[in-house]
Amino acid sequence: MNKPITATAKVQIAENGPYLVSGSLPLLTETIGTNREGDSVKWTPGPEYPPKANYALCRCGRSAQKPFCDGTHAKAAFDGTETASRAPYRDQAKLIEGPTMSLTDAESLCAFARFCDPKGQVWNLVNRTDDSAARKDFVQEACDCPSGRLVAWDNATGKPAEPKYNPSIALTEDPAKHCSGPVWLRGGVQVIGADGFKYEVRNRVTLCRCGASQNKPFCDGQHAAIGFRAGPAA
């Protein structure tokens, strides 16, 4: 993951078409690992795809060459209209204040990865952040949220607790729900809308790749509802 990343690394959304990736962004898989109870508890990185300076990722969910685009979006008359809010994250998020740390939650960005559920749920853990063990669990659960829906904040410094990522793209897999998840952008990758709008650059963002999200370009968990699989299209 230490390949050089150019300053022009970005994801350009094609109108009713694919994600056009440029800047030599590494592409790999990340799988949700669960415990005996079925809770999401870890991310397991998979093989990295051969490096490319530029590539097009399927956005309609129907390509026979997933994860890459094969032009099927045009034949299927895919409607990729971007409907998500373009307001900054902090303007969208609800604030929950705890004793030593706080949580911001932008529910519309939920990608249904379920890291927020173990150990009493992150929304309850924030109220116990004066306990060191609960605080550790709280930070871990917020940081494992791939979409950045959940962010943990230090009350004393006002700074977020964020995992350190090199700019990269991961294709997520969710064996527990028997489906493939979203395109996960890490490390501050610029996303540009089909109309040229530059979305807020964030450390964690998930983009829909099943074509069914009602919050495009972002994932809203519909991949689980429809049982999306990233294998070759039938």
What average pLDDT does range 188-192 have in this prediction? Answer: 98
Q: Would you say residue 231 lies in a domain? A: no
Structural domain that includes position 174: 10-33+47-85+168-226
Predicted confidence (pLDDT) per residue in 39-89, tens digit? 999 999 999 999 999 999 999 999 999 999 999 999 999 999 999 999 999
8 Å CB contact between 33 and 173: no
Domain count of the chain?
A: 2
Q: Would you say residue 233 lies in a domain? A: no
Q: Would you say residue 102 lies in a domain? A: yes
Residues 174 and 80 in one domain: yes
Predicted confidence (pLDDT) per residue in 192-210, tens digit? 999 999 999 999 999 999 9
pLDDT (0 to 100) of residue 85: 98
Predicted confidence (pLDDT) per residue in 167-185, tens digit? 999 999 999 999 999 999 9
Phi, then psi, of 193 in degrees rounded to 5: -70, 165
Q: Would you say residue 80 lies in a domain? A: yes
Please say which residue of 142, 161, 180 terminates a domain. Answer: 161
How far apart, in Å, are the Cα atoms of 27 and each of 36, 87, 109, 186, 195? Answer: 30, 28, 22, 11, 25
Residues 95 and 107 in one domain: yes
Q: Would you say residue 188 lies in a domain? A: yes
Please say which residue of 161, 180, 214 terminates a domain. Answer: 161
Please say which residue of 127, 161, 195 terminates a domain. Answer: 161
Q: Would you say residue 207 lies in a domain? A: yes
pLDDT over 70 (residue 221)? yes
Residues 153 and 212 in one domain: no
At 6, the pLDDT band (50, 70, 90 cuts) reads: low
Q: Would you say residue 234 lies in a domain? A: no
What average pLDDT does range 109-132 have in this prediction? Answer: 97
Predicted confidence (pLDDT) per residue in 9-40, tens digit? 999 999 999 999 999 999 999 999 999 999 99
Residues 73 and 121 in one domain: no
Residues 67 and 20 in one domain: yes
**Residue percentage of the chain with pLDDT more than 70:** 96
pLDDT (0 to 100) of residue 231: 73
Residues 75 and 93 in one domain: no
Q: Would you say residue 95 lies in a domain? A: yes
Residues 74 and 109 in one domain: no
Residues 62 and 176 in one domain: yes
Residues 177 and 145 in one domain: no
Residues 22 and 67 in one domain: yes
Residues 78 and 174 in one domain: yes
Strands 190-192 and 10-13: parallel
Q: Which amino acid, residue 28?
A: L
Residues 123 and 220 in one domain: no
pLDDT (0 to 100) of residue 82: 98
Helices marked H in the chain — which ranges? 72-75, 89-92, 122-125, 132-144, 222-226
At 2, the pLDDT band (50, 70, 90 cuts) reads: very low
pLDDT (0 to 100) of residue 7: 59
Helices marked H in 76-128 — which ranges? 89-92, 122-125
